[in-house]
């Protein structure tokens, strides 16, 4: 399903941002958008969070249902 793949890509980007925070104490989103409190940063953080919430649904789908949706 397309939305699953989009959510996965967004979650991966969010994970990479968290990795840069953990390893280098550098927030890429905040750097690009003018700080953590900037409206654009907050929108991006919210989209990443919603993507993660959407991906939780993958844990509860059966394999047959996932394969049927992808066809």
pLDDT of residue 61: 82
Q: What is the pLDDT of residue 64?
A: 63
- How many whole angstroms separate alpha carbon 71 and alpha carbon 66? 9
Instruction: Return the DSSP state at 40.
Output: H
Q: What is the pLDDT of residue 21?
A: 96
What is the pTM assigned to this prediction?
Answer: 0.80
Per-residue model confidence (pLDDT) at position 60: 85
Residue 8, pLDDT score: 95
Q: Which domain holds residue 63?
A: 2-70
27 close to 33: Cβ distance less than 8 angstroms? no
**Which parts of the chain sit beneath pLDDT 50?**
none
Q: Contact 10/51 with Cβ under 8 angstroms?
A: yes
pLDDT of residue 1: 79
Look at the chain and report how many structural domains it folds into: 1
């Amino acid at each position: 399903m397309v939305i699953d793949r989009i959510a996965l890509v967004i979650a991966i980007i969010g994970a990479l941002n968290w990795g840069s925070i953990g390893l280098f104490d550098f927030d890429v989103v905040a750097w690009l958008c003018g700080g953590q409190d900037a409206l654009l940063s907050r929108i991006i953080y919210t989209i990443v969070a919603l993507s993660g919430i959407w991906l939780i649904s993958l844990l509860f789908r059966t394999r047959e249902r996932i394969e049927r949706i992808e066809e």
